Structure 1
């Protein structure tokens, strides 16, 4: 048995991009995150201590986006993943970060990190 929580469609603003001009202004990023919990007990206790608080995960991601300026989505993703792994007992994590309208023929470009 596996237990997951997820936040999909999270939008943050951050300064990111390889060219300097991209980092001059905040850009919108789209984030999906799936977290597999270490605890395998069923979700029948109705106890927040048996899971992760979605608001805490959102706050971590938004805070990292607000306080850092990265060139690469990969670096931003590593910071998010490593912070969550340090703060919570998790078994696995999958993070998807996408930027929109960066290339003329695409809606989104991005990265997926699995740990």
Structure 2
């Protein structure tokens, strides 16, 4: 059994895109993240150390994205999902990466992926 820990609308900046005009400066991305985790232990202990710490996840993803230079949001999504599974003990992750302003007539474009550990 696992529960869901989520982060909605996490704004991170990344140098990302295939077009030359996208490669000059970092662009804002929005992440919506759902992570599988058994919350019974932290609920019983009431200790942050026992949780899937969403602040730590947010900080790590922002730092990671800032040092990458991927062309595709698909690549960034895969790497971020793997990071969450490997470093934070999530059993599963559903990650939506939105790239506002990438298509003139759309509020945002992006990808949604779902991955499980193992």
TM-score, normalisation: structure 2: 0.87
Cross-structure match for 1:58: 58
Cross-structure match for 2:15: 15
Structure 2 SS opposite 1:24: coil
Deviation at 1:65, TM superposition (A): 1.2
Deviation at 1:6, TM superposition (A): 0.9
- Flag structure 1 segments of 5+ consecutive residues without an equivalent: none
Figure out how many residues of one structure are paired with residues of the other and give that number: 114
Deviation at 1:40, TM superposition (A): 5.7
Query: Structure 2: how far apart are the matches of 1:11 and 1:25?
Result: 16
- Flag structure 2 segments of 5+ consecutive residues without an equivalent: none
Cross-structure match for 1:24: 24
Q: How does 1:69-108 map to 2 (within 5 A)?
A: 69-108=69-108
Report runs of 4+ in structure 1 exceeding 6 Å deviation. Answer: none
TM-score, normalisation: structure 1: 0.89
Deviation at 1:31, TM superposition (A): 0.7
Superposed CA RMSD in Å reads 1.5
Structure 1 SS opposite 2:30: strand
